[in-house]
Each structure stands twice: as structure tokens, then as C-alpha cells.
Structure 1
Amino acid sequence: MGVLAVLVLPLLLFGISGIIYIYRAVIQLMSKSAVKNKVVVITDAISGLGKECSRVFHTGGARLVLCGKTWEKLEALHDALISVADPSVTFTPKLVLLDISDINCIQDVAKEILDCYGCVDILINNASLKVKGVVQSVSLELDKKIMDANYFGPITLTKALLPNMISRRTGQIVLVNNIQGKIGIPFRAAYAASKHAAQGFFDCLRAEVEEFDVCISTVSPTFIRSYHIQPEPGNWEASIWKFFFRKLAYGVHPMEVAEEVLCTVSRKKQEVFMANPIPKAAVYIRIFFPALFFAIVASGTKDKQKVEEQK
């Protein structure tokens, strides 16, 4: 009896783990079947997340249109995808040069995208540009560049492809955003502003196009982990702000985000927030206890400035 009691807990944990694994496998299989033959446009496909999104949608049988601003990297991605996928169940990806921050060229690029298959079923706005620095050190020119890449670029491409979806009364647009579309973090003012703007735009668009059966989704991870992680310079781990906003395990891996984007598309989720408990708590503290939130942020800012002065 004693031995049986000892074995119950491990067996129970093993059984639960098995059920969770099977559930995830089924969901993943259903997600891939949902995008089969769909025309999927991915911007900045040559980034870490863009490559992972390309991989999961390609193996799911989607007809990919991969956009990026470097032709050589697009070709390398194209070769990598077709070398590992079964050609009998996949489509050869089409490549389109696109610098999302070049607003003047987007209309022409949108026409080129539509010419690939005659329609777009899913648009994944993945392109993004980051900047870090105190407000007074970031030039207005750089502020505008960030807004072009993170806000005006995605909404211009969205507006160019949206009429096709509305006329067909089907389609989905996914914005890969960031936690900074929800809360502002010091030394990233321009980036946070662009992400807030994008979040607001697509929230409004969601309501406007619902009657046309066009789905608008936002996927907001905290931080997307790079493949090669380097330690951050400086040592201010004791800072409250650093603890509050630290990149737990260096953020979410691009593969996890790509799988979530695929699941979001297949289940037509409206909003997904990928975060560990501390960043999630930060969002709610910002809403319900703003004074506490601002105090924590200000404390961390002072700590960082002290470290910079010592250095």
C-alpha cells in the first residue's frame, strides 16, 4: 500500500503531462490544416521571428509571399524552406522586396503582392525597428524613422491590401506587437510610442471590418529572444525597475511566438499577450494602480542613471 501511494503522484504527473502533450500536438495539427492553401504574406520574413513564421506556415501548406529588404537573405530563406519541406504538400514561396519604412514604395509593393496569387488571405505585420536612449538624445529624424517602420509602414500596407479582403469578405490581419504597446518603458520612448499607435489603430480597425468577416489579431510578446544572447552591459540587477521588467529567461523564443501566431490565425483570436507573470502584473498595475507603477519606473530610472554616472 505504501509503495502504491508513493507511485500515485509520479504516475498522475506523467499522465497529466501526456494529456497536455497530446492536446498541444492536436492543436498544432489543426492549426496547420487551417492555413493549408491560404495566401499568407509575412513582412520582414528574414528576421528571427519572420523565419520561424515562414517555417511553420510553409510546413502547414500555406502559399507564402515573403517580404524583406535584402534579396540575398530572402533567397537564402527560400532555399532553406524548400530544402526541408515535402514539395508534394507545400508551395514554393514567392519573394518580394519590401522596406516597410519606405512609405512611398508600399503601394507598388502591395500591387506586386496581389499579383502573386490574385488575393491575400492572411497578412502578418511582423516588421519592426527598435531604438534605445534617453528622449533628448534621440533625434526627431530617428523618431520619425521609428514611426515609419513600426506604425506608418504596417498601416499603409494594411490599407493597400484591405480592399481585397473586404471585397472577398474574408481575410485576417495579424499585428505582431510588443508589451510596449500596453505600457511605456523608460529609454524607449519612440519605440513605445510607435507600438502604442499601432495597437490603437488595429483595435479601431477590428471593429470597423468585423461586418466584412475580416479578422484583426494582435500578438504581443514581452521580449523576443535572439538566437545568440549576449549579456547586457552594466550591472544594476538590484534595481527595482530592472527586477520588475527584466527579460525573464531572455524573453520568448521566436519559435514559440511563431507557433502562437499560427494558433492565433487558425482560431481567429483577437488578442494574445505572451508574457511571464511579472510583465502581466505590470500591465494591470499600470491600469489599476498608476501611481505605484510610475513610482517603480522612476526608481529604476534613477538607479540606471547612477550606474551610468559611476561608469
Structure 2
Amino acid sequence: MSWDLLLWLLALCVPLAFVVQLVRFLRADGDLTLLWAEWQGRRPEWELTDMVVWVTGASSGIGEELVYQLSKLGVSLVLSARRVHELERVKRRCLENGNLKGKDILVLPLDLTDISSHEVATKAVLQEFGKIDILVNNGGRSQRSLCAETSLDVYKELIDLNYLGTVSLTKCVLPHMIERKQGKIVTVNSLMGIFSAPLSSGYCASKHALRGFFNGLRTELATYPGILVSNIFPGPVQSNIVKNALTNDATQTLCNVGDQSYKMATSRCVRLILISMANDLKEVWIADQPFLSVAYLWQYTPTWAMWLTNKLGKKRIENFKNGLDADSYFKIRKTKHD
């Protein structure tokens, strides 16, 4: 083969490879590192068996689905949330559809805002199972209200629940993991922890705080390579988080949530979370387009991202005032996954 022909082939392959990667990105529902791990990485079915996994916010949404998928992997589960009857419902379904027995599941009611109860809860888990391999910080609430119209009590509750409650529970579990020199601390954050949007200023603040805290904690644990600190950033997912969102008054929640069908299926989001846990990924973005592209814009071209967010934010506020889902103007092409 002549050098001219070889150079010509190389020149042809470069733009072709770029086009292929662009098409893959436009169809992506997670960051490229995560999707590589899904394709070539370790399987949750291999890596997560025989572990004790503590999940907060396990009574609904991502937490509930995570428990269901974990129950099929041969783990021991600790289910925490405030609503005991909902936790018992989740436990029954795990026993019906999973591979666990009653002794493998501990229902442990927990209020993240009641910081004084976290140490007792941690001791209860250790007494029951003898160890905590994975802590999944999933509990929290969202917000739908304009800053100028919102009581300061709403901001306080969001910080107390989403941020301080999560930090407190993590600090209770951390000494056990340090003693064993192993463990996984997985925090379900939000794309709102990377960028911000109107109607969610308090929620965004709490999620940005979580990102900063856990990134800082990871550096402090550099001498413990067996302890993983992982931040998971999902975009819009089909769950009750919008229904349970705080409004301008801390005593009220959002009633009319609008159409949620365009959002990512909870089962797909949880599968990607499990893949990230199995492959020890430190930061993971999970979202359909165009939300995933917005995250990349905020990460690499923040000036352009601010301009775009200002444009889209006007429509988001308009939808909210008209009783629609704030993000329903996005027409997302659904992609089927196995």
C-alpha cells in the first residue's frame, strides 16, 4: 500500500469517526464514561452480590426502584424513609419478586432532618448485619417556586433535608468504613447540582452543596483507596419528586405536576446507577437529550450555557404558571433499552 493511499484512508476515517461519535452522543442517555462502562465494564450481577446496602428515600421513585433491582442481586437491604407503611409495601414486593428472604431486609424508618437519630440508626444496621458495604444517599425533596415569592423556611428545609441530613448520615457511617478500609458512599444528586434553573433555587443550592461536600470528602479519603465516594447526577426521571416538591410555603407541596411521560424511565436510570456502582465511577451523569447536552455546556462552556438557560428559563416559568410541567416543552425522542 502506497503512502498516498494510506494518508487518504486516514483522512477519510477521521471525519467518519467524528460523525459516529456525534451520532452516539446524540443518542446517549448518560455520560460517555458511564456508557463505556455499560458496554465493556463490570456487571452489577458480578460485583454487588453479598453486600449490605442501605438506601435512604427507599419508599418511592429512584430509591424504590433501586431496592427492587438490588433485591435480585443477592444483597442484604436496609430500607429507610419516613413512611413506615410504604417501606413495608416495598419490602413485600422485594420478597415477592426478588431473591431475598425476610431476614435479608431491614425496614428502618428514618427522618433525615432528625440528626440526633442517625447514630442510633447506624448502630441498628451494624447490629443487624455486622457491616455496611454501600450507603446510598437518595432521600430528598425538590422545589417549584420563584425565589421572590418563597418563604425562607422552604430554603431551610431543603438545606436541612437534602444537604445536612445527608452529611450527618454519611458522617455516622464513615468511621465504620474507615475502620474496614472499604465501602461505597453513593449520593443521588441531580443535574441541578451541576447547573441551575429557575423555580428551583433552593433545591439547586442544596445539590450544589452536596457536590462540593462529597468532592471534598473524596480528597480526604485518598489514603483509603478501598472507599468509593460517588456522585450520581440524574436528569428528569419518572418519579414523585415533582409531586412532592415544596412550593413557596414549607407546609405545601405541588399538586398539579403535569405530564411526566417524556422523562427517563426510572428502571433505566437505576440500571445505570448500578453499573456506576459496579465500576466504581466517581461522577456520573444520567439524562436523555437535550438535558445531557446542557450539562456538558455548563461544564465546558458556561458562558454559552448561561445564555441558553436564560432563554429556556423564561419558558420554564411560563409553563409553571400555566399549570404545566416546568420542562414539558422539551420534545424528547424515546430510545428503547434492553
Question: Which residue identity lines up with residue 154 of structure 2 in the other structure?
Answer: L
Contact 1:82 1:92 in 2 (8 A): no
Q: 2:290 aligns with which of 278, 284, 287?
A: 278
Superposed CA deviations along residues 106-127 of structure 1, whole A, max 9, x for unmatched, are 2222222222212100001111
Distance 1:306 1:182, change over 3 A: closer
Task: Tell me the secondary structure at the aligned position of residue 195 of structure 2.
Answer: coil
TM-score (norm 2): 0.72
Q: How many Å separate the matches in 1 of 2:96 and 2:283?
A: 34
Q: Which of 75, 92, 95 matches 1:62?
A: 75
Structure showing greater relative contact order (alpha-carbon pairs closer than 8 Å, 6 or more residues apart): 2
CA positional deviation for 1:304: 5.6
* Residues 1:257 and 2:276 aligned together: no
Instruction: Verify: 1:290 aligned to 2:293, yes or no.
Output: no
Gaps in structure 1 of 5+ consecutive residues? 1-22, 231-246
Q: Which residue, 54, 58, 61 being the options, matches 1:41?
A: 54
Distance (Å, rounded) in 1 between the aligned partners of 2:240 and 2:141: 17
Please say which of residues 200-209 and 176-185 is displaced more in the overlay: 200-209
Q: Is it true that 1:199 corresponds to 2:218 in the alignment?
A: no
Within 2, Cα distance between the matches of 1:119 and 1:63? 10
Indicate conservation of the 8 Å contact 1:174/1:217, yes or no: yes
> 2:194 aligned to 182, 203, 209, which one?
182
Q: Partner amino acid for 1:46?
A: S
Indicate the residue corresponding to 1:113 in structure 2: 125
2:11 aligns with none
Match of 1:159 among 163, 171, 185: 171
Q: CA distance change for structure 1 residues 308 and 270 in 2, over 3 Å: closer, same or farther?
A: closer
Q: Judge conservation of contact 1:185–1:297 (CA < 8 Å) in 2.
A: yes
**Structure 1 residues 134 and 215: CA distance shift in structure 2, 3 A:** same
Distance 2:275 2:198 in 1: 32
**Shift of residue 298, structure 1, vs aligned partner:** 2.6
Tell me by how many angstroms 1:128 deviates.
1.4
Q: How far did 1:130 drift?
A: 0.8
Structure number with the higher helix fraction is 1
- CA, structure 1 residues 29+77, in 2 after alignment: closer, same or farther (shift >3 Å)? farther
Distance 2:199 2:150 in 1: 10
Residue matched to 2:93: 80
User: Residue deviations 1:184-231, cap 9 Å, x none?
Assistant: 11111000000000011111111211321200111111111138999x
Q: Check conservation: 1:58, 1:91, Cα contact below 8 A.
A: no
Q: Does 1:51 align with 2:51?
A: no
Per mean C-alpha deviation after superposition, the further-off stretch among 216-225 and 290-299 is 290-299
CA contact (8 A) 1:32 1:57 kept: no
Deviations 1:255-310 (A, max 9, x none): 11211221112111111111234223223333444333333333344456667889
Q: Give the Å deviation of 1:91.
A: 5.6
Q: How far 1:249 sits from its partner (Å)?
A: 6.0
SS in 2 for 1:99: coil
Give the direction of change, closer, same or farther, for the CA distance of 1:53–1:167 in structure 2 (3 Å limit).
Answer: same
Amino acid at match of 1:171: G
Residues 136-174 of structure 1, C-alpha deviations (whole Å, 9 max, x = no match): 111111101011111111111001000000100110010
- Match for 1:64: what amino acid? L
Q: Does 1:216 align with 2:229?
A: yes
CA, structure 1 residues 45+288, in 2 after alignment: closer, same or farther (shift >3 Å)?
closer
Q: CA deviation at 1:63?
A: 0.8
Contact 1:58-1:64 at 8 Å conserved across structures: yes
SS at match of 2:104: coil
In structure 2, the gaps of 5 or more residues are: 1-35, 244-258, 324-338
Distance in structure 2 (CA, Å) of the matches to 1:33 and 1:306: 47
Write the letter of the residue equivalent to 1:215: L
Structure 1 length normalisation: TM-score? 0.78
Distance in 1 (alpha carbons) for counterparts of 2:53 and 2:321: 49
